[in-house]
Structure formats: C-alpha cells, structure tokens
Structure 1
C-alpha cells in the first residue's frame, strides 16, 4: 500500500480537473432526462480519456517537455506556428477563465446548500462571499508552489469527492440490471445528442492533455517510470468515470423533471433520502468546484508558458502571473452573479471545438520517431486514437447542426 501511494502521480489531478461542476451539471441533466440510458456515453468518454491521456503522459515522461512546448518546437512553418499558438492561447487561457468562473460557482453551490447565500454590497454590485473565500483558498494552495504538496491536497479532495458521490448513488438503491443495460445498450434517445456531446466534452478535456504532459515530468524522469505513469492514469481516470456515473445514477432516482442544475440535485434528493444526501452532495459539489478551480489556472499557466517559451517552474513570476489572471477573472465573474451554467456551456463549446484540433496535434507528435524513438505510437494506438477523433468530430458536427435546427 505504501509503495502504491508513493507512485501516485498527476492522475488524480487530471481526474480532479474533469470532475468539475460542469461534469456534475451535465451528468445530473443526463440522469434526470434519460435515466441510465446514457451511461454508455460516459463509458466511451472514460476509454477515450485513458487513450489520449496515456499519450500525453508518455510524451511528458519520454521527452521531459509539455505538449504546448513540443508543438511550438516541432512546427517549423512560422505562419502555421503563429496561428496554432494564438489558437491554443485564446482557447485554453480564455476558455479556462470561463471554466474557472463555473468551477468557483460550483463550489459556491455546495456551500450555499449548507449555509445559505451570504453576500455583501460593493457599490452597485452584490458580491457573493463564498466566491471570494473559494478564490482565496485556491490562491493560497497555488501560491505554495510545491508540486508534491499540491498533489497531496488534490488527491485528498478527490477521495472526499468520490466517497460523497458514491454514497449518494448507493442511497438511491439503483437497479443493477438497468445500469448494465445503460452501460452496454448504446441507445441514443430522442433529443439526447447534445447531452451525449456534453458528457464527452466534460470528460475528455483538451486542457488536461496539456496539464498531464507538463505534470508527469515533475514526478517521473526515467523511461522505466512509464509503467507507473500508465497505471496512475488508468486508475485515476476510471475512478473519475465511476464518480461521474454515480452522479448520473443519483439523478436518475429523482422523479421530478424540473432539475436544471447541480444545486437542484442536492435539493431534489433530500425529500427522497433525507438530509444525508443533501450533505454528501454539498461536500461533493464543493470538492468538485475547488479542485477544478485549482487545476484550470494551473493548466492555463502550463499552456501559456509552453507556447511562449517561458519557464514552467511553479515559482516563476510569469507562470504565477498567468494562473493568477485566470483565477482573478474566475472570481470576478462568479462573484458578480453571472450565470455559472452559461459560463460552463460557453467553455464546453470552446473545448468541444478545440478537442479535435488538440487531438490531431497530439497524434501527429506521438508519431515522431526523432522525438519518442521506440515509444512512438503503435499502429493500434493510432487506429484507436483516430477512431476517437472521428467520433468526437461526428458528434460535434451533429450537435452544431442540432443547435441550428438543421438536424
């Protein structure tokens, strides 16, 4: 057990990043709207995440570089390089600022479920106190600037979050046969395409591919460590997938169809299963919000530093400047009453459009022999990666057509 804990790496941070309030909200809507029918979409998402994150981790361990750094050095055409860097910076940094507001708001929802809605008036603005508190906690944790300490804090919070959502799902006394049908039935009920895209979009997060490659080199430096990185990735992503499925299962137990967000899930479970569900859901929401509130600015800092050739040292002033910028924007947007659900949706659209682009660059980089040698992608890894890419593009196009009422 001691050896197992010693080899825990950035996997839990990746899991913490994708189980944010956006995932909680989308999984809630999936469960309330379609019961167990869309569990297969989460199963696919977990598989896709493992495949892509393994590539990212392998790149980080073998090259000792982050994905954005590799893309910057490997693209030789100056015009193409500029376009790609601008695209990555705008999508990841700006997109993460929007996500950050949603993450902080998600943590606030958890606290408000337990303590009400305290706010103070500052001029014409009505500022939420909990947003400021969560922003301050995230700031203090990031300011520590020590990877090992950051890792331990997030591992602990992921464990708390996992237990909270798991217990909530068990309290609903789910039908195991129906769960099995949902996992392997591959049904897409009418009007479910946007929800399916949402489930994939909140799990296969583009900025995680950058974050993972950057963090593994903080933990492992030798080729022999690749096995630890792979195990760490698989265990963490599967755990994250189970937590997401537990949220869908919990939401499936609610009879009313008026649930519109994660806060309603906590309140919706209370009449059915007593106050315990409310408390577990509140703890889960708070943990989901604050862990993602830490990882989103961190990912943005790694991407910006890699793109611009800055130091990726956690104590670097430029590195701190980027995550502080994203964190402050998130606190401002979330504390001024801007709807977190709309912010999360905006960020998911940005990520949905960015995922195929990032995946193409990742697969391209993973086939460069001069960079990875014998650790480049095998034929099977390329086939699986391309299939995942095509499915993401197909569902993305389908959802766009749906939005514009073409489909």
Structure 2
C-alpha cells in the first residue's frame, strides 16, 4: 500500500475502529483474564471464531445508521411496536450502567497503580471529565480523541511478547478449536462471546454513523437517508479493521 493510500485508509477509519476499541473495555479484559488463568490457551479459538460474527453484526448496525439516517433506537421506534423499543432500551440502560461502573472502576484502579493518587479520586475525576467533554466539545473533537486513544490497545501486543508465550501452542489452540465439556468451561465460553459481541455496540455503531453525517451538515433524517456503494464499502473497511483490531 502506497503512503498516500495508507494515509487515506487511516483517515477513513472512524466509527468501526472506535467501536472495536470500545469492545476492549475493562469488563471484557477481566473476562479474558479469568478465562486465560482458568483454562490457559484452551479458549483461544474463540478469538478467531468471533471475528466474522462481530463483523457481520457491526456491519449491519453501521448500514442501518447510514441508510436509515437514524440510530438503532430511533429505527426500532419507527418500525416496531413500542414494547419492543421499551424492552430493548431498558435492557440497554441496565447493561450500560453495569458496564460503565466496571469501566470506571477499572480506569480508576489502573490509574492508581501508576500514580500516587488514590483510586477514589480517579473514580470522581473520570466521570467529570467525560461529562465536560460531552457537554462542551464538538463531536468531531471527541471522535478524533477516541480515535487516537485506540493506539493504547497496542500495549496488549507488547504485553503478549513480554509474557513469553509458547507461540506454537498459541497458534495451535487458535486454529484448532478444543473443548472441555465442563460447566465452568461452557460458562467461560458464554462470557467470552457475550463480552465480544456486546449488544450496546450495535447502538453505538449506528448512532456514531448518524453523528458522522450530522457533523457533515446533514441535520435532518431525510438528508441522511441513503448511502452510495462507495460509502458502504468505506464503512465496511472501517468495521472490518475495527473488529480485527478489537
């Protein structure tokens, strides 16, 4: 890929990349850590198995946002009975509250490990920072910050090398699925797939596609409806990159 093509590719990355990075939240990392500590390399095949599922789900969400000009909740409200909307949104709120709590706790504890400041202080600081950014910053600024923050995920790559893993075993267990028919292993598989294919990301992806178009001056739903083949192709590359990165 030429330098100009690479720059254009990186510039086009957005909602899909950010959604993929958001999937690597503290609750997900905790799930993967527990599964790895309990079963070693055994669940590694789920990483490869979940990628096409994640791509399919997030691509549908992205296209829904681009073509309908609405987020997922608005699309449900426009096309399905009200009880479906209330049910989906109620479950989303519950899941988000739990997830946000886990994320803030993970961020606070991690910050306390590398600074002399107590976790309780960080726990108060991060919500205030998020509120300030959402209230007084434009979408394009927030999206740009989140996009650059995805680079932090490369720390996982460095950690993998520092862990001195048996790379032949990693490759073998990733490409050749192996099962352990026990209650704890099945529970770990459900947890891994559940935290990898998170329903809140469907709402996130569709809404961010809408926000991308709003930032381009497409304020009304009618002006946002429809997408060209080139736009859909660009979105798919973004989603595929984000899900593989995740």
TM-score bracket relative to the smaller structure: 0.7 to 0.9
Are 1:10 and 2:15 an aligned pair? yes
Deviations 1:124-152 (A, max 9, x none): xxxx1110111122222222442221111
Aligned position for 2:3: none
- Gap regions ≥5 residues in structure 1: 76-80, 120-127, 241-407
Partner of 2:205: 212
Distance in 2, Cα, partners of 1:88 & 1:146: 28
Taking the TM superposition and a 5 Å limit, the aligned residue runs for 1:251-400 are none
- Are 2:186 and 1:193 aligned? yes
Kindly provide the CA deviation profile for residues 328-352 of structure 1, in whole angstroms up to 9, marking residues without a partner as x: xxxxxxxxxxxxxxxxxxxxxxxxx
1:181 to 151, 172, 182: 172
| 225, 241, 245: which one aligns with 1:239 | 245
For residues 144 and 196 of structure 1, what CA distance do their matches in structure 2 show? 41
Looking at structure 2, the residues matched to 199 and 27 of structure 1 have their Cα atoms a distance apart, in angstroms, of 7
State the structure with bigger RCO (CA 8 A, min sep 6), 1 or 2: 2
Aligned equivalents of 1:74, 1:134: Cα separation in 2: 37
- Measured after TM superposition, the shift of residue 11 of structure 1 is 1.2
Separation of aligned partners in 2, 1:89 and 1:31? 33
Offset of 1:52 from its aligned partner? 0.6
What is the aligned partner in structure 2 of residue 103 from structure 1?
103
Following TM superposition, by how much is the alpha carbon of 1:117 offset from its aligned partner in structure 2, in angstroms?
Answer: 6.3
Kept after mapping to 2: 8 A contact 1:50/1:237: yes
Q: Residue 23 of structure 1 corresponds to which residue in structure 2?
A: 28
Total equivalences in the alignment: 226
Distance 2:196 2:116 in 1: 30
The alpha carbon displacement at 1:4 in A equals 1.7
Output one character per residue of 1:88-132: Cα deviation in whole Å (capped at 9) or x when no partner: 22111122112111110010121122235627xxxxxxxx11101
Q: CA deviation at 1:168?
A: 0.8
Alpha-carbon separation, structure 1, partners of 2:93 and 2:207: 16
Which SS does the other structure have where 2:42 is aligned?
Answer: coil
Give, in whole Å, the separation in 2 of the partners of 1:206 and 1:89.
Answer: 11
Distance (whole Å) between structure 1 residues aligned to residue 116 and residue 49 of structure 2: 37
Counterpart CA distance in 1 for 2:198 and 2:178 is: 24
C-alpha root-mean-square deviation of aligned residues, in Å? 1.7
Q: CA deviation digits over 1:233-258, x for unaligned, max 9?
A: 00011001xxxxxxxxxxxxxxxxxx
Runs of 4+ in 1 over 6 A off after TM superposition: none
Deviation at 1:10, TM superposition (A): 0.5
Contact 2:73–2:89, Cα closer than 8 Å, also in 1? no
Partner in structure 2 of residue 165 of structure 1: 156
Q: 2:125: which partner in 1?
A: 133
TM-score by length of 1: 0.53
1:92–1:145 CA distance, 2 compared to 1 (3 A): farther
Displacement, 1:229? 0.4
| 1:247-270 C-alpha deviation (Å, 9 max, x unpaired) | xxxxxxxxxxxxxxxxxxxxxxxx
CA distance in 1, matches of 2:65, 2:174: 32
